[in-house]
């Protein structure tokens, strides 16, 4: 009896571990998608009144924003250079750190994606899909925490995130030396956070639906055999 319970417990823990891998995969993919979803930013320019705040026209705003996003890509080689904006040494240093973080998401997505491929193939051979529901539930946890924190006080959550992720205060931009900060208001990052959480939850929903369909198909097959 104890042996059975240990196996059952181990089995549950293994499913939670798979759920963590799924969580890392969906978070990484979501960050990559939102980072490259330039229309999200373009459509926010008028709403956030960035032309008025920055004193730049729409075309110039987009041009400088695109330069930053291009730089953050793992496929971009070279230093950051804004077409028409100045950048201080500390500001440039911050974006170097930012790029390292963004590039790490590409690596995490690739590694977890490969791991999940092997896991899914292995589980398929065993005709075991129990990990789907556990993973779907596990995935919800982190987005739920971020979502609640964002809803309660995004400004404090945003501040805490920077203090935890970055090793210095280079992210505290001075608009007079780093005018790019005028193009990146907190509200825009809130939109990004909402987008990332939404995509991660979508990933959870997909796993729930796959699990539901499989269980329903098996139930029908079982009823038919009876």
- Residue 158's pLDDT band (boundaries 50, 70, 90)? confident
pLDDT of residue 144: 82
Q: Is the pLDDT of residue 166 over 90?
A: no
Q: Is the pLDDT of residue 1 over 60?
A: no
Q: What is the mean pLDDT of residues 201-225?
A: 85
pLDDT of residue 89: 93
pLDDT in tens, 19-39: 999 999 999 999 999 999 999
- Mean pLDDT score of the chain: 88
Q: What is the mean pLDDT of residues 160-186?
A: 87
CB 168 within 8 A of CB 17: no
Q: Is the pLDDT of residue 193 over 50?
A: yes
CB 181 within 8 A of CB 173: yes
Cα→Cα distances 3→6, 10, 13, 173, 193, Å:
5, 10, 15, 59, 44
CB 180 within 8 A of CB 68: yes
Percentage of the chain beyond pLDDT 90 is: 68
Buried b (16+ CB within 10 A) or exposed e, 90-126: bbeebbeebbeebeebbebbeebeeebeebeeebeee
CB 154 within 8 A of CB 190: yes
- Local structure of 178: helix, strand or coil: coil
Neighbouring residues of 137: CB distance < 8 A, sequence distance ≥ 6:
19, 204
Cα→Cα distances 190→5, 14, 89, 156, 158, Å:
45, 34, 26, 12, 8
Q: What is the mean pLDDT of residues 133-156?
A: 84
pLDDT in tens, 99-113: 999 999 999 999 999
Neighbouring residues of 82: CB distance < 8 A, sequence distance ≥ 6:
64, 67, 68, 180
pLDDT of residue 6: 43
Task: Give the span between the Cα atoms of 22 and 35, in whole angstroms.
Answer: 20
pTM: 0.86
pLDDT of residue 226: 53
CB 100 within 8 A of CB 161: no
Residue 70: name the closest of 102, 48, 42 by CA. 102
Q: Is the pLDDT of residue 9 over 50?
A: no
């Amino acid at each position: 009896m104890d042996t059975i319970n240990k196996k059952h417990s181990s089995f549950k823990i293994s499913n939670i571990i798979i759920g963590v891998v799924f969580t890392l995969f969906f978070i990484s993919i979501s960050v990559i998608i939102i980072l490259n979803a330039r229309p999200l930013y373009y459509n926010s320019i008028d709403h956030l009144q960035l032309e008025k705040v920055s004193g730049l026209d729409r075309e110039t705003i987009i041009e400088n924003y695109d330069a930053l996003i291009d730089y953050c890509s793992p496929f971009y080689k070279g230093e950051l250079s804004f077409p028409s904006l100045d950048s201080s040494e500390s500001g440039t240093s911050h974006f170097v750190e930012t790029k390292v973080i963004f590039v790490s998401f590409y690596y995490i997505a690739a590694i977890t994606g490969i791991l999940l491929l092997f896991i899914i193939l292995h589980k398929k051979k065993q005709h075991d899909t129990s990990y789907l529901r556990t993973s779907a539930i596990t995935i919800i946890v982190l987005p739920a925490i971020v979502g609640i924190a964002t809803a309660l006080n995004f400004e404090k959550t945003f501040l805490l995130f920077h203090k935890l992720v970055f090793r210095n205060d280079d992210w505290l931009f001075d608009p007079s030396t780093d005018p790019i900060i005028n193009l990146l208001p907190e509200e825009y990052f809130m939109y990004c956070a909402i987008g990332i959480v939404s995509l991660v939850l979508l990933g959870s929903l997909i796993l729930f639906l796959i699990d539901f369909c499989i269980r329903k198909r098996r139930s029908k097959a079982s009823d038919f055999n009876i």
